[in-house]
Each structure stands twice: as structure tokens, then as C-alpha cells.
Chains A and B, each alone.
Chain A
Amino acid sequence: MKNTIKALRAERGWSQAALADHLGVSRQSVNAIETGKYDPSLPLAFAIARLFSKSIEEIFDDETEAKLAAE
């Protein structure tokens, strides 16, 4: 799933390790989420949204709208 976590992280000048510490997860988890290799669970998605003061939909894009438009 596409997301804007990398950009949001860069705005705050955080490394992946720093973001991982804020969320209580591993740096590899942050990397996997940013690169779309792994979709976070709902609690983690809420924690990410709360940390960046945004809604989940503003951060994550499951590309449903694009797929529907293409059909």
C-alpha cells in the first residue's frame, strides 16, 4: 500500500530509527512499511496517524479509487 510516511518523516528530520523508536517498532518495520513491502496493522496505522497528526486516509492509499476509475 502506498503511503507518505517517508515524506512526513523527512519533514520532521527523523531517521527511520528515530521514527521506529517513537512507534516502539523495529527500524526494519518502518522500512518495510515505507517501501510498501508490509501493510501495518490497524493499531499501528492509528499510532502512525496520531504521531503525524493526520488521518489514516491522508497517509495510506490503498489505490481503490484509482482502480475503480480505471474500470
Chain B
Amino acid sequence: MTQLTFRSATKRYWRILTPFMLIFLVIMIGGSGYLATQEVEPVWTRAMIAIGCAIPVAVCMFALIRYVFETDEYYRMVYFKSIAISSGVTVTAIFLFGFLQMFRVIDRVEVFLFGPAFFSAQALAIPLFARRPPK
């Protein structure tokens, strides 16, 4: 991917993130509102709304990945380290809850929760690497 200046990479990122997050909100709120007014709705309607919510999130994810490659080297290092930590934390949680579920210690855990868990772990890890004291 092209190496841009920090400012250009940041502007490019926000030019994608802002409209697609708005699209996500419109589809999610509009779709939920529409479904609430229907007594019976076909599965394909719910499927389209669900996929319609997921697509903008996917676009924003790839915009973030592109930003990480295009941004300056310091931020790239911080983001990659935080993604490594949050991946480890999330995968550990998936295995832990998976085994607890398998051995019937707990009830079914919503898969959806691991997405926010990943981003929360990353958000906590970023300042950890950004403020590492000098060696």
C-alpha cells in the first residue's frame, strides 16, 4: 500500500469511516424500527437488515487496516502491538468460554460479544504501548 503522509492517511481514513458509520446507524435503527412494526416478517428481510448492518462495519474494518498500513511508522508499531495483545486476549476468552460451554458450566455465550471484546482490549492496549517509558 502507498505510504502517505500522516495527515493524508488520517483524512483518507475519516472520509471512509464517517459516512459508513452513518450508513450503519441508519440501517440498524431503521431496520430495527421497521421490524418492530411488522407482525410477521420473512426471514430474508431480517437477513438483509443483518447483512446490511455488517457490511458498513466490514468496510470500516478494512479502512482501519489500510490506515494502519498508510499511517506513520510510530502509530503503525503501536497499532500492530495493540492488535497482537487484543487478539491474544480475545482468542483466550473464546477458548475459555468455549470450554466452559462445552463442559456445561455456563449457558450459551453470544458470539457477537467477542467483537466488542476485541476492540475494547485493543483500546486498552494502545495507551500501554504509546506511553512505554524509555529503556
Residues of chain A whose beta carbon lies under 8 Å from any beta carbon of chain B: 20-21, 24-26, 28-29, 32-33, 35-38, 40-41, 44
Residues of chain B whose beta carbon lies under 8 Å from any beta carbon of chain A: 5-7, 71-75, 77, 130, 132-135
Among B5, B6, B130, chain A packs the most CB atoms within 10 A around the CB of B6
Q: Which are the 10 A-B pairs with shortest beta-carbon distances?
A: A24-B5, A29-B74, A25-B72, A36-B134, A26-B6, A29-B72, A26-B72, A25-B6, A41-B73, A38-B74
CA distance A38 to B6 in the complex (A): 17
Q: List 9 A-B contacts (CB under 8 A).
A: A20-B6, A26-B6, A26-B71, A28-B74, A29-B72, A29-B73, A32-B74, A37-B132, A44-B73
Distance from B79 Cβ to chain A, minimum over Cβ atoms (Å): 12
Interface majority SS (helix, strand, loop, mixed), chain A: loop
Are B132 and A24 in touch, CB under 8 angstroms? no
Known contacts A20-B6, A24-B5, A26-B6; is-contact A37 B73 (Cβ 8 Å): no
Query: Which residues of B sit under 8 angstroms from A20, Cβ to Cβ?
Result: 6
Distance from B75 Cβ to chain A, minimum over Cβ atoms (Å): 6
